[in-house]
Structure 1
Amino acid sequence: MIPAVGSAASNPNTNAASFQPTDGGRRVRAALLQKVCGDDDMFALGSAIARVVQMATSEDQGTHDLAHYVLSDVALTQRILRLANTVRYRTAAGTAVTTVSRAISLLGFDNVRTVALAMLLVDALASSDHAYSVRMELEASLCASLVGREMARHSFYQGAEEASISALFKNLGALLVASHEHDRYREIQALLATGKHTSAQAAQMILGCGFDALSEAVLGEWKIPGVIVHAQRPLEAGALKLAVNRSEWMRQVASFSLDVARLMGRTPTPSDAPEAQALLARYGTALNLGAAELDELFETVAFEMTSLLQSMNLQPMPRRAPQEDKGGLPNVLLLATLGGEEEAQGTYPSGKPKNARDLLLAGVQDVTQMRASGRHKVNDVVMAVLETLYTALGFRFATVVLKDVRAGQYRARASFGLAQARVQEGFTFPLAPAGERSARDLFYLAMENDADLMISDARGAKIRDLLPAWHKALLPDAQSFIVLPLVVGKVQLGLFYADRTEPAPEGVPPDETALIKALKGQVLAALAP
């Protein structure tokens, strides 16, 4: 068993400041920071993490951006859906969750965002040659994030959810050393095994800085918000006092979360361990925790951890000595066959899945359940339908266009697919056509006649003649597409549009057409006064 890497202040009787790094330690630190911050793959990881961390949480656009981000990664999509369909959430939902939009609604924005960040770390470090050490540190990071999330649920601070992200990154330093400088990592573990040093002291002696300082430096390089970076700083030794502000509270939660994660990683019954009493002595007053609350936390996090590992298809980790740590992480990210039938059946040359009917049916059930619950806004329903059309029919771009009376135009409000932001911005056209243009404009014709159009080949001269100039300029390679007008009574509200870059001679059979109309019907019912 690898010795646990505790918090900087886990041994209050030893002064970490008295341990000064050797010249070799300073060189190791500089080399490690250069490797982590200068490597192209790690730069890409930092950019992706910064993007997800900084997504807005208060507006519908934030939820849409997160859904679009998840959908752009097939593996991440499968993991999020798998998590939403684990025992706890599936029971709450009643039916299978088939869209990312509903998964976000069910799991919560902050939960999905933190899971996406955790999976970014897993993916980036999956190729490490040091399977056991990296897996130990990854599990500690994942578990700490779950502890942070539970602490945030009971906090009165606004924006407390960021504690989960802070807790996830609290172990980043140890995780990066295990992955990128494994020889140094083993040297630190050897010092810890003597029982004479804290993790901060051991890391200081070998690296020239503590793990917390390394985490803080890397997150700073990645341009992560300051409150999360600040939360990585070590706490003073001994019993902690009640925090005076949110920033200090997040520091306490981040440290507590990793200490809890370490304890849970060492024993299957953490409540019975003497370290549990030490946790209460150190954090109890500051975080308003008693023995009962701590026991409940252990139980909740253990259950959540099982669900999270199942969603990522991470098998139970074998407990073996560090010297046996030789292989990579073979199979650690092997995905379960969620959607396996779809892969087996394949897709048409157009990109349309051959099991589109089953995917559409699942989407109809999903949206029907959303509306029946009465807990979802109109925007949630629209997004779920848009996502179902996008994924079930294999489109490369899909958008919902709504009337903007003040601006005097129809404009795209939400989209999925390639170049989503750029294309969405350009997808606008006037409320009223100029002159007789409506008789020769496919979009006005569809709305005026409330006709669902499914164009299997847009290359023909007659279809091209009906496409407005703005569409030809914006999407010149659209070879097949659908237009689904949104008309309530005689009021034209907008439309759904989605396209592919290949013709779709397979067409849309009657059963799929009925399901598409059912999806649109749910949106119309939600939009009706």
Structure 2
Amino acid sequence: MSDFLALPSAPGNANAARRLLMQKISQNENLPALGRTVARVVQLTSSDNEAQSELTYFILSDVGLTQKILRLANTVFYRTANSTAVTTISRAIFVLGFDLIKTSALAMLLVDRLSDRQHAHSIHAELMQALYASVIGREMARKSSYQGGEEAAISALFKNLGRLLMAAHDHALYSKLIGLIETDGLSSAQASMQVMGCSLEMLAESVLQEWQMPPAIIRSLAPLAAGVPKPAKNRQEWMQQVAAFSAEAAQLLSRTGTAAATERSATLLARYGEALNLDSKSLDQLFGAAGREINILRASMQLELEPVSPEPALAPIAKVVLPTLPDDMLMVCGNAAEGQIGSSFPSGKPFNASARLLAGMQDVTQVMASGRSKVNELILLAMETLYSSMGFDFAAFCIKDRKSGQYRARMTIGKNHIVRQAGFVLPLESTSDIFHLALGNDADLIIADATTSKIIALLPAWHRTLLTDTRSFIVLPLVVRSVPLGLFYADRTTLAPEGVSPDEAALIKALKGQVLAALQAGDRNNIG
């Protein structure tokens, strides 16, 4: 932010006000963490093979964000024709699209991380302006022929960052700015020059440089020259025009609702119509679509995730007993949820686990049938289904790696998943630990209490070291014609005496069967 502080002195107290504002922003210990988080999401691009997995991992690491994205995906506006509930982030990305989920997650992050401060009303108003602008920018990107147009929605989101930061860190200065605009009739640029000696865009650019945002996004925040802009000659000019238009349109939309046909919308159209190929009809359609989407986004941010539909009735399956494994390690059947109050067992397993598993299995079926998915994405969707449906804290997918002579975790989600993935390694050679017993017998194991002496004796040393807080877990071997390919593992930090019901056991086996089919059809060497 040194360039921002080094600006020439402004008249009166503006220079001192600017320095005080930057000092307050710099002292906010939470802002650098927000910057790193935002930068991580912005850098994900839909053209990157691993971007969908990375975005899924990121969203799942934040429970609140996960709930908001799922709620968004389950609104009538976004639900698919078959009205199947979306219960996983992987499925939400598949249905709504990578770019929509990405920009929605960014907006939700700003709302979550900057809302909990004093002067909440002003901050909320500026956050809503940023949200409106982002949605309008997204609508413009959908109609654009430029590749990577989703960056325009991100630019539009950040266009209001200067006012937002001022409202959050120096409300007296912010109130002065608003007074000059609303009472004295100054433009935003004139008012910001008067109160701090520079534009609000320069404040936003300074912070975004600290956050290491892509240069194209930072440059797009620069104010447009006075007058009517000409059609853009390149993508950078177009992004700058969309960001400016979206910010102005957001102010209009937030104040007037469906703002087409008002005097101010006519002024907006007169300035940007030629450059952005807009007429009164297309502007009206733009405001209508953006208004509907904004209402949906606001609802998804403010309300909790709706419960999934009641558990369906499925035929029970017979319990399979293998002589080489004790009965109490196999998936046992029970109906422990009957008569319970609340949404989950003390272990964290949802009472409607069967309904969630069924929805996830249907998601996998639809994704496979689309022909648009990769093996990685199917496995991640299946693992996320298991993880969320059964209330696990950590989950891993391991695959055989002949080069290293090991089973290695290629995908993980949940608690400390990055660190745990590096250490989640099994030797190929058969041993007497619980993982090789499951692989050797092709037996799905559910361990309700991992603290008993019998189970501890079967745990390998690496597991006891890496997963010290495990209290219950599941092992699902992936075996084809007696040849082990890998396994799913998931655990909790709590005991799980409820076990699994017959319906849950059947659905878990079916889900595992889908993964085996994908592994046999795809290239196992390129997983992870």
TM-score (norm 2): 0.85
- Tell me what 1:53 maps to: 42
1:475 equivalent in structure 2 = 467
2:179 and 2:476 map into 1 onto residues whose CA distance is 65
Q: CA deviation at 1:110?
A: 1.9
In structure 1, the residue matched to 2:211 is 222
Q: What letter corresponds to residue 165 of structure 1 in structure 2?
A: I
**Which residue of 1 is the match for residue 358 of structure 2?**
361
What count of residue pairs does the alignment treat as equivalent?
Answer: 486
Candidates 267, 272, 275, aligned match of 2:256: 267
The 2-side partners of 1:283 and 1:136 are apart by 25
Which residue in the other structure is 2:221 paired with? Answer: 232
Deviation at residue 346 of structure 1 after TM alignment:
4.8
Amino acid at match of 1:246: R
Residue among 457, 476, 485 paired with 1:484: 476
Does the alignment pair 1:157 with 2:154? Answer: no
Which residue number in structure 1 is paired with residue 385 of structure 2?
A: 388
Report the CA distance between 1:379 and its aligned residue. Answer: 2.7
Residues 1:143 and 1:369: Cα distance change in structure 2 (over 3 Å):
same
In 2, distance between residues paired with 1:232 and 1:87? 34
Cα distance in 2 for partners of 1:207, 1:222 equals 22
Superposed CA deviations along residues 288-340 of structure 1, whole A, max 9, x for unmatched, are: 33333322212211121121112123xxxxxxxxxxxxxxxxxxxx6465579
1:7-46 map, 5 Å: 21-46=10-35
Would you say the 8 A contact 2:141–2:153 is kept in 1?
A: yes
Q: Where in structure 2 are the equivalents of 1:68-107 lying within 5 Å?
A: 68-92=57-81, 94-107=83-96
**Which residue number in structure 1 is paired with residue 123 of structure 2?**
134
Report the residue type matching 1:297 in the other structure.
L
Cα deviation code 1:154-186 (max 9, x no counterpart): 223332211111110101111222233222222
Tell me, yes or no, if structure 1 residue 124 matches structure 2 residue 113.
yes
Q: Which amino acid aligns with 1:209?
A: C
SS of the residue 1:415 aligns to: strand
The match for 1:325 is none
Q: Partner letter of residue 124 of structure 2?
A: R
Partner in structure 2 of residue 454 of structure 1: 446
Deviation at 1:349, TM superposition (A): 4.1
Distance in 2 separating the partners of 1:47 and 1:23: 35
- Quick check: 1:125–1:179 contact (8 Å CA) kept in 2? yes
Aligned-partner Cα distance in 2 for 1:40–1:372: 47
Letter paired with 1:515:
L
Matches within 5 A, 1:63-462: 63-92=52-81, 94-194=83-183, 196-313=185-302, 335=304, 338=307, 345-430=342-427, 432-433=428-429, 438-462=430-454
Contact 1:78 1:338 in 2 (8 A): no
Distance 2:464 2:110 in 1: 41
Verify the 8 A CA contact 2:397 2:489 in the aligned structure 1: yes
C-alpha displacement of 1:193? 2.7
| Distance of 1:36 and 1:480 partners within structure 2 | 44
What corresponds to 1:326 in structure 2? none
The whole-number CA distance in structure 2 between the counterparts of 1:520 and 1:27 is: 64
Q: Which residue of 1 aligns with 2:489?
A: 497
Structure 1 residues 427 and 347, CA, compared in 2 at 3 Å: closer, same or farther?
same
**Contact (CA 8 Å) 1:99, 1:387: kept in 2 or not?**
yes
Confirm or deny: 8 A CA contact 1:93 1:106 kept in the other structure: no
Comparing 397-406 with 360-369, greater Cα deviation is found at 360-369
1:287, distance to aligned residue in structure 2 (A): 2.3
Q: Which has the higher contact order (CA 8 A, sep 6+)?
A: 1
Does the CA contact (< 8 Å) of 1:415 and 1:424 recur in 2?
A: yes
- Return the alpha-carbon distance in structure 2 between the equivalents of residues 362 and 269 of structure 1: 37
Q: Which residue of 1 aligns with 2:499?
A: 507
Give the conservation status (yes or no) of the 8 Å contact 1:446–1:483. yes
Between stretches 463-472 and 504-513, larger displacement belongs to: 463-472
Residue 225 of structure 1 aligns to which amino acid in structure 2?
P
1:356 maps to a residue whose letter is A
User: Secondary structure of the equivalent of 1:255?
Assistant: helix
* C-alpha displacement of 1:461: 4.0
Contact 2:258 2:291 in 1 (8 A): no
Q: Is the 8 A contact 2:258 2:288 kept in 1?
A: no
Kept after mapping to 2: 8 A contact 1:144/1:257? yes
**Structure 2 stretches lacking a partner, 5+ long:** 1-7, 311-336, 522-528
Q: Secondary structure at the match of 1:492?
A: strand
Q: Distance in 1 between matches of 2:253 and 2:435?
A: 59
Question: Aligned with 2:134: secondary structure?
Answer: helix
Aligned-residue offset at 1:456: 1.9
Residues 71, 306 of structure 2: 8 Å contact kept? no
Where structure 1 has 5 or more consecutive residues not aligned to the other structure, the ranges are: 1-18, 314-333
Deviation, structure 1 residue 60:
4.4
More displaced 10-residue stretch of structure 1: 131-140 or 347-356: 347-356
**Amino acid aligned to 2:134:** S
Q: What letter corresponds to residue 48 of structure 2 in structure 1?
A: E
Aligned residue type for 1:243: A
One-letter code aligned to 2:383? L
Q: Secondary structure at the match of 1:481?
A: strand
Q: Secondary structure at the match of 1:214?
A: helix
Letter paired with 2:504 = E
Check conservation: 2:84, 2:359, Cα contact below 8 A: no
Contact 1:21 1:206 in 2 (8 A): no
The question of whether the paired residues in 1 share the 8 Å contact of 2:252 and 2:264 is answered with yes
The whole-number CA distance in structure 2 between the counterparts of 1:101 and 1:336 is 16
Q: Which amino acid aligns with 1:114?
A: T
SS of the counterpart of 1:137? Answer: helix
Once the 2 structures are TM-superposed, how far is the Cα of residue 284 of structure 1 from its aligned partner?
2.7
Deviation, structure 1 residue 73: 1.9
Whole-angstrom distance in 1 between the partners of 2:79 and 2:357: 19
Residues 1:404 and 1:282: Cα distance change in structure 2 (over 3 Å): farther
Question: What residue identity is the alignment partner of 1:474?
Answer: L
**1-structure distance, mates of 2:174, 2:306:** 35
SS of the residue corresponding to residue 495 of structure 2 reads coil
3-state SS in 2 of match to 1:440: coil
In structure 2, do the counterparts of structure 1 residues 287 and 491 end up closer, same or farther at CA, with 3 Å as the change threshold?
A: farther
Q: Does the CA-based 8 Å contact 1:82-1:338 persist in structure 2?
A: no
SS in 1 for 2:474: strand
Cα distance, 1:417 vs. partner?
A: 1.1
Structure 1 residues 111 and 211, CA gap change in structure 2 (3 angstroms) = same
CA distance in 2, matches of 1:374, 1:216: 42
Over the residues paired in the alignment, what is the CA RMSD in angstroms? 2.6
